Amino acid sequence: MRAERLWQGALELSEAARASGDLVPLRTELVDDPRLHPFVLRRLLSRTPKHLRGGGPRPNPFLPWEPALELERLGRSHVVLLNKFPVQPAHLLLITQDWQPQTGWITAADWSAVAHLARDTGGFWFFNSCAAAGASQPHRHLQLLPRRADEPSCPLAAHFLREIAGNAPGWPWRYAIAARRSADDPLELEQLYLRQARDLELGDPRSDSRPHHPYNLLFDDDWFITVRREQEHCAGYSVNALGFGGYLLATDRSDSGWLERHGPWELLRRVAAPR
């Protein structure tokens, strides 16, 4: 059983950072529409934050990062922060302390940091490789939404397990899925990442300075998925790795009528690379 020390620390730090104004949770409401099942759609009620508005280059918020949001440093390589604009409580960011580009390859040091956190707190991990894949910041960061061992990591987790078992149809776009054997083995994570990158023709860090195409990663203790991306948005919905896990967010730019007519699976198909 995990200690979940980081999760508890994140909740306590969140209270203090919210009281000081350093943490700004986004107000949302759940859209109750059975036609969207198993996807979870939330409507943003807060003013749309800058990182969702676009509008060109912005200062790097991680150099330096806000001290009030710092949860823990992992030696000199990485630091764990609270997401400043969370939708869900205790949303964690694992960032490199020194500048590393989000558009570069995830390294062995990054996977070791992921595994270190995973030994304490489990949940839904995700990564957006660049702006075209939904990344809002250029500084390398992986993200974790903590989850209990007895709850699904994301709305589509059961679908992924059925697909791995051969009991669910595959997606009609470019992606790779694999079962995991260990929840906290950095070498396994790195090997899955590199193998799926080659399978999806993203490239190889031994010969390519950066991946050839935008992509998302999403993984938990049981599965690891890479999705090759074509574009960041469709019908006013910005889609990052959370979308491929079943989480969607509607803003004042979103065309709710389009989503009602076409459904969330079609939304994902429009933003993923076609087969």
What's the confidence (pLDDT) of residue 204?
Answer: 96
CA distance 108 to 96: 12
Q: What is the b/e burial string over 163-186, where b = at least 16 CB atoms within 10 angstroms of the residue's CB?
A: beeeeeeebebbbbbbebeebbeb
Inter-residue contact 129 to 103 (CB < 8 Å)? yes
Position 49 scores a pLDDT of 63
**pLDDT at position 58:** 65
Residue 56: predicted pLDDT: 46
Domain count for the chain: 1
DSSP 121: -
Range of the domain at 164: 5-53+60-271
- Least Cα distance to 121 among 242, 247, 241, 8 occurs for 8
3-class SS of residue 135: coil
3-state secondary structure of 49: coil
256 contacts: CB under 8 Å, gap ≥ 6: 250
Tell me, what DSSP letter sits at residue 171?
P
Buried-state track 70-98, b at ≥16 Cβ within 10 A, e below 16: ebbeeeeebbbbbbbbbbbebbbbbbbbe
Q: Residue 105 gets which letter from DSSP?
A: P
Q: What is the pLDDT of residue 47?
A: 77
CATH of residue 77's domain is 3.30.428.70
Spatial separation of the C-alpha atoms in residues 101 and 220, rounded to whole Å: 24
Among the listed residues 175, 196, 178, the one whose alpha carbon sits nearest the alpha carbon of residue 244: 175
- Residue ranges, the chain, pLDDT below 70: 48-58
Facing residues of 272 across strands? 229
The tokens for 250 are: 């509607």
Instruction: Mention every residue, 6+ apart, whose C-beta is less than 8 A from residue 220.
Output: 122, 123, 124, 125, 147, 153, 154, 157
The 8-class DSSP code of residue 156 comes to T
- pTM beyond cutoff 0.85: yes
With tokens 């200690």, the residue in question is 3
Query: Which of 205, 202, 55, 39 lies closest to 133 in space, CA to CA?
Result: 202
Q: Note the pLDDT tens digit of each residue in 63-83.
A: 999 999 999 999 999 999 999
